Amino acid sequence: MEILYSATKPTGKLTLGNYLGAIKNWKEMQNNYNSIFAVADLHALTINIDSKELNDNIYTQFATFIAAGLDPDKSIIYCQSHVKEHAELAWIMNCLTYFGEASRMTQFKDHKAKDKVVSVGLFAYPMLMAGDILLYNTQVVPVGVDQMQHVEICRDIALRFNSRYGETFVIPRGIIPKVGAKIMGLQNPLKKMAKSEDNDNNVIYIEDDDDTIRKKFKRAVTDSLNRIKYCDEQPGVSNLLTIYSSINKISITDAEKHFEGKNYGALKTEVAECVIREISPIRERLQELKNNKPKIEELMKKGAEKASKIARETLNKVYAKIGLVINR
Ligand code: AMP
């Protein structure tokens, strides 16, 4: 089986977008790949985040992975900061990357344009991510379209290393999973449903209770065309159809057929109910786990031990190739 690596940043509470766009797919992928899933806590430090909030997010995100069905016996599930090799390889990656190529990363340019003040850490984010992927001899990296450029730079750095020092890194490929549509905001369906969101009604969080989910869908933006069709003119309705088809594992066409002749009220209610059916068992397991922090920490430790073993081996190989002396 090929090796797969994926991660989420604990910069906020996980959303329905994270679940349908990433975690739900991971659950299925772990049967077909040797999978490694990380809570990318070092990546979260690239933005200014409150320490208590970060700490909560790390526990919650890790517990959500487990509650959603990622299996620690099948896959390696761990926190990035527990494996110190990430920080070490990131430095090597920094030294192999040209300032010009890192400056071309669109995500960094977008942040810089928006936030004005950005950290060196944010600039170095793609190099940390390249190290994450390369440490585990990863072959496949499932990502959203927005992250593809970071997988490309990872490939470029790995190829550069291999040509300078000899075959060392496996060259990974990014894949955009076919299932796992992009979920948009409920109030602003032209913008991705994101963890960092000021308007609570725009986002469904995994931890939202059933009534909150119902209320948020009731308030979801539709339009006045009075037809249930997936098209550019109806981004709100299209988003609801996407959620429905993604949860029920049916095509958009079949979802449209299902709602033929029904009104927007029925659409919103049915979508809300299917989201509740999918998410509430996860939320319950999550609450149970969150009340048992020692259990979460035990699982974190187990994951980090497995991850560290592979990571150390790769890093020793890298250090030897570049001429550093390994301290055994
Ligand atoms: P992030 O929230 O940026 O840390 O992303 C973690 C993972 O969730 C990535 O694989 C994203 O592509 C995915 N993701 C985040 N938001 C959405 C969304 N609204 N729709 C689909 N996938 C998403």
Q: Is 323 left (phi over 0), alpha (psi -120 to 50) or beta?
A: left
Does the structure show a pLDDT above 90 at 218?
yes
Residue 133: domain span: 3-175+293-322
Query: Does any ligand 1 atom lie closer than 6 A to the CB of residue 295?
Result: no
The rounded Å distance from CA 46 to ligand 1 centre is 17
In Å, the largest CA–CA distance within the chain is 71
pLDDT digits (tens, 9 = 90+) for 37-46: 999 999 999 9
Residue 170: helix, strand or coil by DSSP?
Answer: coil
Tokens of 283: 């939320």
The confidence score (pLDDT) of residue 145 equals 78
Radius of gyration for the alpha carbons in the chain, expressed in angstroms and rounded: 21
Query: Does any ligand 1 atom lie closer than 6 A to the CB of residue 9?
Result: yes
Q: Whose CA is nearest to atom 15 of ligand 1?
A: 18
Task: Give yes or no for a contact between 293 and 59, defined as CB atoms under 8 angstroms apart.
Answer: yes
User: What average pLDDT is seen over the chain?
Assistant: 95
CA–CA separation, 169 vs 151, rounded Å? Answer: 14
325: Cβ contacts below 8 Å, ≥ 6 apart: 319
At residue 259, what are phi and psi to the nearest 5 degrees?
-100, 5
Residue 183's CB is within 10 A of a number of other CB atoms, namely 23
Most confident of 13-22, 188-197, 293-302: 293-302
Does the structure show a pLDDT above 70 at 180?
no
pLDDT digits (tens, 9 = 90+) for 111-127: 888 887 889 999 999 99
The confidence score (pLDDT) of residue 64 equals 98
The confidence score (pLDDT) of residue 44 equals 96
Does the structure show a pLDDT above 80 at 179?
no
pTM of the model: 0.93
Find the mean pLDDT for residues 20-24: 91
Does the structure show a pLDDT above 90 at 315?
yes
Does the structure show a pLDDT above 90 at 284?
yes
Say yes or no: 109 and 250 in one domain: no
Q: Domain of 255: which CATH number?
A: 1.10.240.10
The confidence score (pLDDT) of residue 171 equals 98
Percent of the chain with pLDDT over 90: 87
CA–CA separation, 261 vs 185, rounded Å? Answer: 25
The confidence score (pLDDT) of residue 116 equals 76
Does the structure show a pLDDT above 70 at 28?
yes
- Is 307 a domain residue? yes
Find the mean pLDDT for residues 9-32: 93
CA–CA separation, 257 vs 272, rounded Å? Answer: 18
**Which residue's entry shows tokens 């400056």?**
103
The rounded Å distance from CA 59 to ligand 1 centre is 18
Say yes or no: 256 and 225 in one domain: yes
Q: Whose CA is nearest to atom 5 of ligand 1?
A: 8
Amino acid at position 275, single letter: V
- Is 195 a domain residue? no
Amino acid at position 63, single letter: A
E-state strands within 42-139: 76-79
The confidence score (pLDDT) of residue 113 equals 86
153: Cβ contacts below 8 Å, ≥ 6 apart: 97, 101, 102, 105, 126, 127, 130
Query: Does any ligand 1 atom lie closer than 6 A to the CB of residue 43?
Result: no
Say yes or no: 87 and 160 in one domain: yes
**Which residue's entry shows tokens 């970060």?**
54
Query: Does any ligand 1 atom lie closer than 6 A to the CB of residue 112?
Result: no
Q: How many domains does the chain have?
A: 2
- Is 134 a domain residue? yes
